[in-house]
Amino acid sequence: MTDLAGKHFVLGLSGGIACYKAAELCRALIKQGATVQVVMTQAAGQFITPVTMQALSNRPVFGSHDVSGFDAREANGMPHINLSREADAIIVAPCSADFMAKLLHGRADDLLSLMCLARPIGQVPLLLAPAMNREMWAHPATQRNMAQLTADGATILGVGSGFQACGETGDGRMLEPPELLEDIVAFFQPKVLAGRRVLVTAGPTWESIDPVRGITNLSSGKMGFAIARAAREAGAEVTLVAGPVHLPTPRGVRRIDVQSARDMLAATLPCAEQSDVFVATAAVADWRPASTAGEKIKKDGSGHMPQLQFTENPDILATVAQSPRGASGALFCVGFAAESHDLEAHARAKRVRKGVPLLVGNIGPATFGADDNALLLVDAQGTRELARATKLELARKLIAEISTRTGAGA
């Protein structure tokens, strides 16, 4: 998938050790289909060479050799005008504390700051990826500058936390290139769920038999994680209740890890009270052992497995859908059905049984663990197919559907 196909960026580098991450960001943007024009400050040239950035972007770098902003390579000598007008966004990564202060005052004594000032504010977004020592980050001047830059129309992409090149540990590291990429991709998605609160369950559950064994299933959680990501991209505030899976948390999503179906229910119910949309993608175990042995159950030499008693698990989706908030429609509930055959008939029946306005069917064995899927949307009016695509593409389509059905995008 090329999420940034057709997009053109100015990638600006100001001086900071995080310049080494800008090389990877440049590659990542290009891999997603974008074209990139690199512009460097003179200070950035202390940390990474224009040769590296030229090779990665496949374009000569501007700014580094002529800090005044004039450049004979442009016929009119005005790269600050030409380059800023053809960009879909200017991304400054790393954005140093000093460069922020400069932007704040509208100073323009090098090509990059000149270009930021000269950009048509309404058409060319300015995305800043700060990078600095934790004390510089926490300083009231930096915090004040960021608030003002945001008010002036810039988007601050946030910072990471952890070990810093200076040897100190704290906030202020530049985000990693994959994190920046995720935020940049999200920036361009339509904000069809802006301000909405979305709750997603994902992954399998784990029902313990004894301290070392349990019952689970093949759900990878990928579809639910993609939906959480797509909801966040659409501007929602997202909580993801995840069973045991090995997936990174989508950027900007609050994640609650759980094990059993009962844990999942306990985590979900209070969040559902605060949410506008609930998407239940979790493959919740229908049954759990009636009791969990405190010690590992040993073979007794009889050749027979010990008899286990099972108890039915709570149905999280049905419980939420039938709660006052779900039943009144204040919380829009979406269920999933993973079937092996007769998808449409089973999905229709399940929608009614669960009491949800929208149920999404998919063929379980064909999609478990995969990065793509095909969906069948079932509502009271009928069905609609979403053809095979990556889970993220399908998740975005589903979010658009939910937005339309809840009137959120209106």
Contact positions toward ligand C5P, by CB under 6 A? 201, 261, 280-282, 284, 313, 315-317, 335-337, 350
Give me the least distance between CB of 315 and ligand C5P, in Å please: 4
User: Coil, strand or helix: which one is 214?
Assistant: strand
Catalytic one of 26, 116, 166, 271: 166
148 vs 319, beta carbon nearer ligand C5P: 319
Q: Please say if 166 is a catalytic residue.
A: yes
Residue 14 and residue 126: Cα distance in Å, rounded? 14
CA distances (Å), origin 50, targets 22, 43, 54, 181, 307: 12, 12, 6, 21, 70
Closer CB to ligand C5P, 96 or 281, in the complex: 281
Asked if residue 208 lies in contact with residue 308, where contact means CB atoms within 8 angstroms, the answer is: no
Nearer CB in complex with ligand C5P: 101/374:
374
Cβ-based nearer residue to ligand C5P, 149 or 280: 280
Looking up tokens 């559902």 gives: 272
Closer to ligand C5P by Cβ: residue 17 or 240: 240
Closest distance of CB 294 from ligand C5P, Å: 25
Q: Which is nearer to ligand C5P, 39 or 261 (CB)?
A: 261
Q: Identify the helix (H) or strand (E) that includes residue 213.
A: strand 213-215
Q: How far is the CB of 336 from ligand C5P (least distance, A)?
A: 4
Compute the least distance from the CB of residue 313 to ligand C5P, in Å: 5
Q: Report how far residue 46's alpha carbon sits from residue 280's, in angstroms, rounded to the nearest whole number.
A: 51
CA–centroid distance for 409 within its chain: 19
Which contacts (CB < 8 Å, 24+ apart) does range 141-145 have? 141/97, 141/101, 142/97, 142/100, 145/97, 145/100, 145/101, 145/104
Q: Which two tokens stand for residue 228?
A: 């959480």
- To the nearest whole angstrom, how small is the minimum distance from the Cβ of residue 200 to ligand C5P? 10
Q: List Cβ neighbours of 357 (8 Å cut-off, separation of 6 or more).
A: 329, 332, 333, 334, 379, 380, 405
Helix H or strand E encompassing 201: strand 197-202
**Least distance (Å) between residue 317 CB and ligand C5P:** 3
| Residue 202: C-alpha distances to residues 53, 206, 261 (Å) | 40, 12, 11
* Residues labelled as active-site residues: 166
